[in-house]
């Protein structure tokens, strides 16, 4: 085991990545000293380093990676991640917030990370990745609700379609990375009842025995507020839309299978 090890947590927006990051934070993973605070949609905080989030947002803006169809252009983002422009800037970010501090384990969580995975792998070739996947309908339902609430209006043309497209793009980046680097990747399925005990046991076993990282055991029971686990409202329109999206269904099934492997 190296003296300093990295674990990067990523997944689609509203996939319970904040919960997973919270669990790792409690287990001793240093996520930065500038964590974004709580919000109505994340009352216990996002567990995201403001520096990492700002860096990804700056890359998206400066290099015009925004897409009307899925918010981020996957191909352009991947191309940028493979350049020295991205990788040199990423090293500066790491030095400013992570690698200068005396922490045995460090990492971050940001839903934009999947679009830049190849670049981060070049910068941190020894890093490990925990990917969280949640059912597309629930991600889209939650993201639709947050978008409308934050904007103070209900009419957004094709909003759900764009969010489904974002789910596809985000998770396709992850799937391609997992296929290339399975030994450095762990997929967690986060259904609406969140993390089950079998998955948690398997995850801790993988981190210790396969990765050789001796964090404290991650326990989500310590960080779950059951008052927030109200069953999501039935979303027949979104479910119908999901069932018409064969690519999305195939992708989701692939991740469920990976989480059980």
- 135-149: per-residue pLDDT in tens? 999 999 999 988 888
Domains of the chain: 5-260 (3.40.50.300)
Three-state secondary-structure class, residue 80: helix
137: which 2 tokens? 């309908």
**Closest among 16, 35, 15 to 25, alpha carbons compared:** 35
pLDDT band at 1 (very low <50, low <70, confident <90, very high): very low
- Classified as helix, coil or strand, 161 is helix
Burial degree of 44 (CB within 10 A; 0-12, 13-18, 19+): middle
Q: How confident is the model at residue 93 (pLDDT cuts 50, 70, 90)?
A: very high
- The pair of structure tokens assigned to 18 is 């904040």
Q: Examine the pLDDT at 127 and tell me if it is beyond 70.
A: yes
Question: Half-sphere exposure of 122 toward its Cβ, with a 13 Å CA cutoff?
Answer: 16
Residues paired with 5 in a beta bridge:
105
User: What value does the mean pLDDT take over residues 57-61?
Assistant: 96
Give CA–CA dist 241/252, Å, rounded. Answer: 14
Residue 44 has pLDDT above 80, yes or no: no
pLDDT-based confidence at 2, cuts 50/70/90? Answer: very low
Helix axes 136-151 and 159-180, enclosed angle (nearest 10)? 130
**Which residue would you say has higher pLDDT here, 197 or 79?**
79
Beta bridge partners of 129: 8, 185
For residue 46, the model assigns a pLDDT of 79
- CA dist., res. 229 & res. 232, Å (int): 8
Q: In 3D, which of 7, 21, 16 has the Cα closest to residue 134?
A: 16
Q: Is the pLDDT of residue 68 over 70?
A: yes
- In the block, tokens 């039935």 appear at 234
- Categorize the per-residue pLDDT at 230 as very low, low, confident or very high, splitting at 50, 70 and 90: low
Tens digit of pLDDT for each residue in 206-218? 998 999 998 898 8
Q: What is the pTM of this model?
A: 0.89
Contact present, 247 and 171 (Cβ < 8 Å): no
Please, what is the average pLDDT of the chain? Answer: 88
Q: Has residue 72 got a pLDDT over 90?
A: yes
């Amino acid at each position: 085991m190296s003296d300093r090890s990295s674990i990067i947590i990523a997944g689609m927006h509203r996939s319970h990545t904040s919960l997973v990051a919270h669990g790792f934070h409690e287990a001793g993973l240093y996520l930065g000293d500038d964590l974004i605070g709580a919000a109505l949609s994340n009352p216990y905080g996002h567990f995201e380093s403001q520096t990492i989030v700002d860096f990804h947002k700056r890359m998206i803006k400066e290099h015009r990676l925004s897409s009307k169809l899925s918010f981020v252009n996957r191909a352009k983002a991947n191309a940028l991640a493979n350049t020295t422009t991205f990788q040199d800037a990423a090293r500066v970010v790491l030095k400013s917030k992570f690698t200068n501090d005396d922490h045995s384990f460090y990492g971050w969580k940001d839903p934009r990370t999947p679009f830049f995975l190849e670049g981060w792998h070049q910068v941190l070739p020894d890093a490990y990745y925990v990917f969280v996947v949640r059912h597309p309908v629930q991600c889209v339902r939650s993201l639709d609700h947050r978008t409308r609430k934050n904007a103070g209006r209900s009419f957004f043309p094709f909003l759900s379609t764009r969010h489904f497209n974002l789910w596809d793009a985000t998770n396709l980046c992850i799937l391609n990375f997992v296929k290339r680097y399975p030994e450095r990747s762990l997929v967690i399925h986060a259904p609406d009842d969140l993390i089950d005990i079998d998955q948690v046991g398997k995850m801790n076993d993988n981190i210790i025995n396969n990765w050789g990282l001796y964090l404290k055991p991650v326990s989500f029971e310590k960080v779950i507020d059951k008052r927030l686990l109200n069953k999501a409202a039935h979303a027949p329109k979104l479910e119908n839309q999901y069932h018409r999206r064969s690519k999305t269904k195939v992708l989701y099934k692939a991740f469920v299978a990976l989480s059980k492997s």
